[in-house]
Structure 1
Amino acid sequence: MSPHPSTSFAALHRADGAPLLLPNAWDHASATALAAQGFAAVGTTSLGVAAAAGLPDGHAATRNASLTLARLLGGGPFLLSVDAENGFSDDPEEVAEAARELAAAGAAGINLEDGRPDGTLAPAELHAAKITAVKEAVPDLFVNARTDTHWLRDGEGDGNGDGGGDGGGRARETIRRLDAYRQAGADGVFVPGLSDPPCITALLKTLDVPLNILYTLAGPTVPALADLGVSRISLGSLLYRRALGAALETAALIRAGEPVEGATPTYDDVQALR
């Protein structure tokens, strides 16, 4: 009997001592092309999915678009993790239902974030309740619990002053939240915006589940993050934004009468992405 997809997905974290490098796609073609490059697992980017559909990211507007994409990609030759924003609801049972539908579509994992569109954090207890509801509804689904403590605009934690704008307060709030999410059943934790190697090392000492770090062009390299002991490295919306940037640059070069360089898939190459 083949292992459950989420079991295989969990095993990819630090497989052979290396972190899972997870590229994030926004449609069928991008996901299939990435899988063809040898990536055993592909995630989705909520920004890319939202922008491609003309929707705002992080406002629980991409539930249907994310489910539709999961149905296109689930059960394919790669494992799929879906960026489910905040679960598309503040009702834990509604979040659990969305998770059921994504798992039924073939998703092996999901991301659940505690950040809100206004730059504050949802109460840790609420986010933990969502995680518990999802794990009770779909025990085999890999839940990557994300905290946006390092992405806050106001530096004030959940709005009650317990996050703190100082580095120590932010670190304590991150640990507090991740511990609550782990106890609620999270299989892994994600801290986008955390890139300082000593801070990553200190956080790893407090964890007994895989740590996911968001790769940034200005941050540590993949080998450096691997040496620190990070279990998963996500590319987030980077590939989508780079693709959009390349499209704009190409159009501008053509308009200016300049040569266009770089790899360009042929029409037949794209037709073959099925």
Structure 2
Amino acid sequence: MALPVAFFAVFFAWPVVSIVDRGLRPDGDWRFGRIGETLGRPDILDVLGFTAWQALASTGLTLLVALPGAYVFARFDFPGKTVLRAVVTVPFVLPTVLVGTAFLALVGRNGLTDELWGLRLDTSVWAILLAHVFFNYAVVVRTVGGLWAQLDPRQEEAARVLGASRFTAWRTVTLPALVPAVSAAALMVFLFTFTSFGVVQILGGDAYTTLEAEIYRQTARLLDLPTAAVLTLVQFAAVGAILALHAWTVRRRETALRLVP
């Protein structure tokens, strides 16, 4: 236990604390007024707004695409299911820079979409959103599908026997049981896309910037440590809130699993 804590302290906590210290205390005196000044800048407000918007959009699109896949894996047995489940997981373990580069080759200049349909997405936000869906698909499939596979389908069948339509039975019986897993998966996808860096750096360019990418730009390119420090604090607060919500939904999911006969 001591070694992981020491590693975290040396290679993560110390650099972050150093940036915040140098940014908010450049001459030895704390300047907390910089926080309000920085967050009031129009360019920073645009970055925060886009970061939240693209994370919400990416999460919604990922759920829309992945929930049917979770249903298929949970309710059907077919040859190669185990292999396909592993293949679905591969994008999630790939480096984000590799995913971004692959999508740039796919939807950029002289890419597949450009050659076939004359369609380029590398200059639009859709490239970022689609890359996020590709990257986080497995999160929803495995999180929701794992719980869905353990639900007793006879409960939904009983509702159908009592006169409920297929959709009504699913909405009133299955969906409430899936809410904890769907919420947990959605929060994880939101966290991963809110802190997206490699995908946004490659596909967003100078037109689209997230909080993570802006921290890098302010630190490495502009050498504006005060702004980087404020944005780092904002990201810490956002990530902490998301993780707290995720821990709560995981507890609800575990409770739901214990209730499954």
Q: Could you state the TM-score of these two structures normalised by the residue count of structure 1?
A: 0.25
Q: Could you state the TM-score of these two structures normalised by the residue count of structure 2?
A: 0.26
Greater gyration radius: 2
Higher percent of residues as strand: 1
- Structure scoring higher RCO (CA < 8 A, sep ≥ 6) equals 2
Higher percent of residues as helix: 2
